Structure 1
Amino acid sequence: MMRPQQQTALRLAIGGILLGITAFSYAEEPSGTRKQAPDILFGPLFNDVQTAKLFPDQKTFADAVPKNDPQTILADYHMQRKQSGFDLRHFVEVNFTLPTEKEKYVPPAGQSLRAHIDGLWPVLTRTTSSAGKWDSLLPLPKPYVVPGGRFREIYYWDSYFTMLGLAESGHWDKVASMVDNFAYELDSWGHIPNGNRSYYLSRSQPPFFALMVELLATHDKEALKKYRPQMEKEYAYWMEGVDALQPGQASQRVVKLDDGAVLNRYWDDRDTPRPESWLDDINTAKKYPSRPATEIYRDLRSAAASGWDFSSRWMDDPQQLGTIRTTSIVPVDLTALMFKMEKLLAKASQEGGDSAAASRYEGLASDRQKAMERYLWNDKEGWYADYDLKTKQVRNQLTAAALFPLYVKAASQERADKTASAAEAQLLKAGGISTTTVNSGQQWDAPNGWAPLQWVATEGLQNYGQDKVAMDVTWRFLTNVQHTYDREQKLVEKYDVSTTGTGGGGGEYPLQDGFGWTNGVTLKMLDMVCPQANPCDKVPATRPAANEGSVTTTPSTTGAQPAANGTSTTGDQPAATSTPSTTNPSTTTTTPPATTDQPAANDETETQKSVGQQ
């Protein structure tokens, strides 16, 4: 019989072997100070727990905190799992601390919509300046606001729309803290992960950091100069690998089209099932044995990076998630956000006295805008759309993402008017802007409407003088939010916009309440429909005219915008009305952006290949 010391030594030896095998089998990330995801740390145990469906939500075990080091837990698992009567659920409960739901927040009876939102800010605020070594949570130095529900951590693009509400409520300290947290992540990881979890480190989300800094700059005039280094780090992350690309190639998040134009796509560095949706991804891949599972996993993960997880926008067959191919699509909203980042980097450089850098970023923004007009405008349909790298054609689907070029003032007036007309005719419903025109059962499709897309639509339409349509969007969405709140005393993640007063459906998890970005957009919209001299606590009984109320939004700090034809306009105006032809693309090569972390010239990885092979 083994003595206790021998048993311990054996356990550690087995655990070390298993951990080594696990790291070899699952890891695709560099080791070092970066935390590893739980599926890498616990390999076979993680897979067994998730495929056994021990918990209704797969995120539960991904967020569980180990009570011991992975080596010891894996060794115990290897020794115990073959024993008669082994109980996997009991083993998990002994070795992990499972996440617990906070006590349900019950708002005071009779609260107005505004009072309810203001009361939620402290409820949704978290402070996690430290976390256990093996905990999937990534600590952040300052307090932050979470979305709510199952989302117990900060989320990147959600946070911008949450910040709009925090600023509207006068909580500039929280806005500044959250910007500091994202700057900390950029300094620590070189990018802002999807959320502050180890399993989110392999991807980012729609790049809104520059817009967060722009928002803060309306309160702190030094913000753009202060956070310029972090803005440049984010830009380098999105453009990494561009200098090694030949026309027609793609690498990670950047693509170089046949004429040399440089645009971006969503990408995840890993090609395994998502830990937070492990079994869902495995089952999706199993339905398509003709496709490599790793390819499907990468496209699922990349859709999560887009924020639109999931949508017919990324799929060949809207009813079949396994046909997803996010990595072979250049998204129009990402292109617009990268344009905005370049404009704000130019502004930050100018404010810092670096006119050479300002000129370079202005040139990059101008090049990107030309490419957007050339590749992402569907002349036949009359709206902005995504570009398909495989077919080398602009796609036909109309989505709410079409309004992003208007949001960042990159469109010409003519094209903005056409896009606005299409959105009004096909996307505007009783309860707001629908995400798409397709009802696929996915949550980023019809009939769902999401707060951030309502805000982008409202702002974008106002930028081009489409005040009536903008007010229609605002009023209908606010009415939807108010009716739902009146019935259920909560704000939710998404809404059914085919009617009013109903939360949205579809997707991988039940409807969540809270809810950060809905709270933020609702507050901004309340202050748009009510005069500043007489702010309202709920949606007014009568709809104001388009020119009534406080329709002035946060002033932009981007400076001059290039016109669609490459000339410059003065001030912060939309692009000029002239537009380039989309039938004869120019063959002019754009200037490749400088990056700070380029691969060696001969270091062609599997991520750098012909666009047609993606």
Structure 2
Amino acid sequence: AELDDWTDDPPFLRGVTSSVLRGYGMALHNQWKGLARRRNTDFLCDGCETSLLPVNYTFFVAGSNSSREIRYWDSYYIGLGLIKSGLLKSARGLLQNLLDLVGLYGFVPTGGRIYYTDRSEPPLLALMVKNYYEATLDLDFVARALPLLKAEHQFWDTHRSVNVTYTRKGSSNSTSLGRRQSDQFQTVTSKTTMFGPSLFQTALDQGSGGGVLRPESYSDDYITFKTQFASVDLFTTAIPTDNLYAATEAGTFPSIQYASLKTANEGASLFSTALRRRAVDVPTSNPFAAFTDTELKVLGSININSTIAVNLNSIMYQVETIIANFTALLNNGTETAECANYRRRASERRQTLLDLAYNPSTG
């Protein structure tokens, strides 16, 4: 697709005098032309359908030959690159596509296809809008984006969050959402966010696994399901199928759920880290095929959608802080009750992560 705001003088190369570095930088900059796409349905016959989601502005693929649609997680880094390249109109269009998807679905799907509308990816949209605002000071865009940022936060708050009750070590002047038991300890209930399973149970039901195969990887998942494990029970014990979707949403696929040589190298690291905590040795040559029944059952305890992800909750902390800041900004700097609510949520989330996930020795 043609870029209306194309420039042969990207800001990041200004002041660079080395011909080698300038040549390298321009080669990178020129990649935008090959990565830009526009949704085009002119080739469709009357009454024909397409799996592409309706996006009205130029979008950018991640660079893979197989990528033909917008992807949420990749768009964060693409947006950073567009801003660095001075392609601010393109960056705004990229954001508008994602905001439009929130308007349609209440969240940003994993990708720009119908079969991705049953899950999302880490909610980086608020961070992307913040990056764009800092580069442009376009307050009108922030005003239009803010209601949709709140809507996306509401999706994660409703469909991807749980209340966690635990005992927090406190002090005489500490505050919390919970009931004080003594000056030293208090029982608190705090909302945290997790990656979730499929939103819609529409594909092949895997019986006792309680999950579905992913439409975009249906045949691969089906073959893995049928051939890589000795029995259905073993497969569903080792890899609960709800986690297939949660892993995709978390961005850890394919290694977290595929038992194949193709992903063995990546999987060795992920699986050994999780299993090492349970004192199970994992061979590195082909960790999947080499698993014993015991190891596979231990692997079943790696429940993505039953785990409080520190990285996800850290992103949610930033989302809540950004929404509070934007709300105050649009109210001439006034800290409204809505601002205070988002800041309280962010503060409580931060404290919960420190209570439950922070180790003074390892971080």
TM-score > 0.5, shorter chain as reference: yes
5+ residue gaps in structure 1?
1-109, 241-251, 384-614
The amino acid across from 1:113 in the alignment is: Y
Aligned counterpart in structure 1 of residue 323 of structure 2, from 345, 357, 370: 345
Give the Cα separation in 2 of the matches to 1:255 and 1:292. 27
Give the Cα separation in 2 of the matches to 1:139 and 1:282. 29
Give the Cα separation in 2 of the matches to 1:367 and 1:376. 14
Give the Cα separation in 1 of the matches to 2:165 and 2:341. 23
| Alignment correspondent of 1:581 | none
Structure 1 residue 292, shift from structure 2 partner: 7.2
Q: Does 1:359 align with 2:340?
A: yes
**After superposition, what is the alpha-carbon deviation per residue over 1:6-57, rounded to whole angstroms, capped at 9, x for unaligned?**
xxxxxxxxxxxxxxxxxxxxxxxxxxxxxxxxxxxxxxxxxxxxxxxxxxxx
Aligned counterpart in structure 2 of residue 306 of structure 1, from 250, 260, 271: 250
| Alignment correspondent of 2:353 | 372
Give the Cα separation in 1 of the matches to 2:240 and 2:67. 25
Give the Cα separation in 1 of the matches to 2:317 and 2:37. 32
Q: Does 1:118 align with 2:29?
A: yes
Q: Does 1:171 align with 2:91?
A: no
Give the Cα separation in 2 of the matches to 1:293 and 1:174. 44
Aligned counterpart in structure 2 of residue 221 of structure 1, from 132, 138, 152: 138
Greater helix proportion: 2
The amino acid across from 2:212 in the alignment is: T
CA contact (8 A) 1:129 1:139 kept: no
5+ residue gaps in structure 2?
1-20, 167-188, 202-210, 257-269, 289-295
Give the Cα separation in 1 of the matches to 2:326 and 2:22. 42
Q: Does 1:382 align with 2:353?
A: no
Divergent runs of 4+, >6 A: none
What is the 5 A alignment of 1:6-405?
112-128=23-39, 130=41, 134-148=49-63, 149-218=65-134, 219-222=136-139, 223-240=141-158, 252-259=159-166, 260-267=189-196, 268-269=198-199, 270=201, 271-286=211-226, 287=229, 289-290=232-233, 293=236, 296-309=240-253, 310-311=255-256, 312=270, 316=275, 319-320=287-288, 323=300, 324-353=302-331, 355-379=336-360, 381-383=361-363
Which has the larger Rg?
1
Secondary structure of 1:153's match? coil
Give the Cα separation in 2 of the matches to 1:340 and 1:129. 35
How many residue pairs match? The answer is 263
CA contact (8 A) 1:350 1:358 kept: yes
**After superposition, what is the alpha-carbon deviation per residue over 1:248-300, rounded to whole angstroms, capped at 9, x for unaligned?**
xxxx4112112311111111324311122223322443425225759733211
TM-score normalised per structure 1: 0.40
CA contact (8 A) 1:129 1:142 kept: no
Structure 1 residue 328, shift from structure 2 partner: 1.5
Give the Cα separation in 1 of the matches to 2:130 and 2:232. 47
Secondary structure of 1:272's match? coil
TM-score normalised per structure 2: 0.67
Give the Cα separation in 2 of the matches to 1:263 and 1:129. 40
| Alignment correspondent of 2:13 | none
Structure 1 residue 329, shift from structure 2 partner: 1.3
The amino acid across from 2:165 in the alignment is: D
Structure 1 residues 291 and 134, CA gap change in structure 2 (3 angstroms): farther
User: Which segment is superposed worse, 219-228 or 329-338?
Assistant: 219-228
Structure 1 residues 226 and 220, CA gap change in structure 2 (3 angstroms): farther
Secondary structure of 2:100's match? helix
The amino acid across from 2:190 in the alignment is: A
Structure 1 residue 180, shift from structure 2 partner: 0.4
The amino acid across from 1:375 in the alignment is: L
The amino acid across from 1:303 in the alignment is: A
CA contact (8 A) 1:179 1:212 kept: yes
Structure 1 residue 165, shift from structure 2 partner: 1.0
Structure 1 residues 377 and 151, CA gap change in structure 2 (3 angstroms): same
What is the 5 A alignment of 1:443-592?
none
Give the Cα separation in 1 of the matches to 2:149 and 2:35. 27
The amino acid across from 2:233 in the alignment is: S
Secondary structure of 1:112's match? helix
The amino acid across from 2:156 in the alignment is: W
Give the Cα separation in 1 of the matches to 2:105 and 2:41. 17
CA contact (8 A) 1:129 1:141 kept: no
Question: Larger relative CO (CA 8 A, sep 6+): 1 or 2?
Answer: 1
Give the Cα separation in 1 of the matches to 2:138 and 2:87. 17
- What is the RMSD computed on CA atoms of the aligned residues? 2.6
Give the Cα separation in 2 of the matches to 1:278 and 1:297. 13
The amino acid across from 1:382 in the alignment is: T
